[in-house]
């Protein structure tokens, strides 16, 4: 099962993608997590990506597309995957479509998690991230068992640099300009499904599970 998560930054793509990955036994592939791991490890890619991420801008397509095409070619992705945060531009979607078409494959579902902009700022300021294992929490809506500590790996949780309110507004603008057009792209491809992302986390997941069957 090959799934794409669509939606604004903070809509809940990562939160849902983790649960989908677990239920359907497919890898969760988050380009944001891949970039953050590269930043943490001080790689060349990480240095380049950080300059864009800190400003709330997208990392250029030429640094992103090959990375994802390589990742979905790995052995653990043979039965499918959940892509979270990719594609984010029409050229990325086209690169993915043609990489898949060259193997006779296609995306099965593009799930758009719909959340209005006015809910996003409070979601982002309350998000706490584990930069070691990629787990995500919310101080109010999805708190860890012990404040500030990751339930999964015990690392310290942080407020991501790009979750500060001044950067979030920029990311929302970038989303509307560059990523929202993907909704029509996948509608035209006949694979778009929409869920109401303002519901609580478990209800959103129930709706997604119904779609995926």
Q: Check binding of 127 to ligand ADP (CB under 6 A).
A: yes
| Residue 138 tokens, joined | 């919310």
Residues whose CB falls within 8 Å of the CB of residue 180, separated by 6 or more in sequence, listed in order: none
Looking at 13, 18, 36, 128, which residue is catalytic? Answer: 13
Provide the CB-side half-sphere exposure for 105 (13 A, CA).
Answer: 18
Q: Check binding of 161 to ligand ADP (CB under 6 A).
A: no
- Residue 84 in contact with residue 29, Cβ under 8 Å? yes
Residues whose CB falls within 8 Å of the CB of residue 116, separated by 6 or more in sequence, listed in order: 198
| Residue 189 tokens, joined | 């491809």
Query: From CA 152, how far away is CA 120, in angstroms rounded?
Result: 25
User: φ and ψ at 136, to 5 degrees?
Assistant: -130, 140
Q: For ligand ADP, which stretch binds (CB under 6 A), given 9-17, 20-28, 90-98, 172-180?
A: 9-17
Query: From CA 114, how far away is CA 133, in angstroms rounded?
Result: 26
146 has catalytic annotation: no
Looking at 36, 88, 123, 128, which residue is catalytic? Answer: 88
- Residue 28 in contact with residue 84, Cβ under 8 Å? yes
Q: What is the 3-state secondary structure (H, E, C) of 45-100?
A: HHHHHHHHHCCCCCCCHHHHHHHHHHHCCCHHHCCCEEEECCCCCHHHHHHHHHHH
Least distance between ligand AMP and beta carbon 102 (Å): 20
160 has catalytic annotation: yes
- In the complex with ligand AMP, the residue whose CB is nearer, 51 or 146, is 51
**The entry of ligand AMP, ligand ADP, none that residue 134 binds, CB within 5 to 8 Å by partner kind:** none
Q: Check binding of 137 to ligand ADP (CB under 6 A).
A: yes
Looking at 2, 18, 127, 128, which residue is catalytic? Answer: 127
Q: Check binding of 56 to ligand ADP (CB under 6 A).
A: no
Least distance between ligand ADP and beta carbon 186 (Å): 16
Q: Which of 38, 89, 136, 167: binder of ligand ADP (CB under 6 A)?
A: 136
**The entry of ligand AMP, ligand ADP, none that residue 59 binds, CB within 5 to 8 Å by partner kind:** ligand AMP
Query: From CA 133, how far away is CA 118, in angstroms rounded?
Result: 29
Looking at 50, 71, 160, 187, which residue is catalytic? Answer: 160
Q: Which of 69, 201, 209, 212: binder of ligand ADP (CB under 6 A)?
A: 201
Q: Which residues bind ligand ADP (CB under 6 A)?
A: 7, 9-15, 123, 126-127, 136-138, 141-142, 197, 199-201, 204
Q: Which residues participate in catalysis according to the annotation?
A: 13, 88, 127, 160, 171
């Amino acid at each position: 099962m090959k799934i794409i998560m669509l939606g604004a930054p903070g809509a809940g793509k990562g939160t849902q993608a983790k649960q989908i990955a677990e239920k359907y036994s497919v890898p969760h592939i988050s380009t944001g997590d891949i970039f953050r791991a590269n930043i943490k490890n001080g790689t060349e890619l990480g240095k380049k990506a950080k300059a864009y991420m800190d400003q709330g801008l997208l990392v250029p397509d030429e640094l992103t597309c090959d990375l994802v095409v390589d990742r979905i070619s790995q052995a653990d992705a043979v039965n499918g995957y959940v892509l979270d945060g990719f594609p984010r531009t029409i050229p990325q979607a086209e690169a993915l479509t043609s990489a898949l078409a060259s193997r006779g494959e296609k995306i099965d579902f593009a799930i758009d998690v719909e959340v209005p902009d006015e809910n996003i700022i409070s979601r982002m300021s309350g998000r706490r991230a584990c930069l070691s294992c990629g787990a995500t929490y919310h101080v109010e809506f999805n708190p860890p068992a012990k404040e500030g500590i990751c339930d999964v790996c015990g690392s310290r949780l942080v407020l991501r640099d790009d979750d500060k309110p001044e950067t979030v507004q920029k990311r929302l603008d970038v989303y509307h300009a560059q990523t929202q057009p993907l909704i029509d792209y996948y509608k035209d491809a006949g694979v778009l499904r929409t869920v109401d992302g303002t519901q609580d986390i478990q209800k959103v997941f129930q709706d997604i599970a119904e779609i995926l069957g």
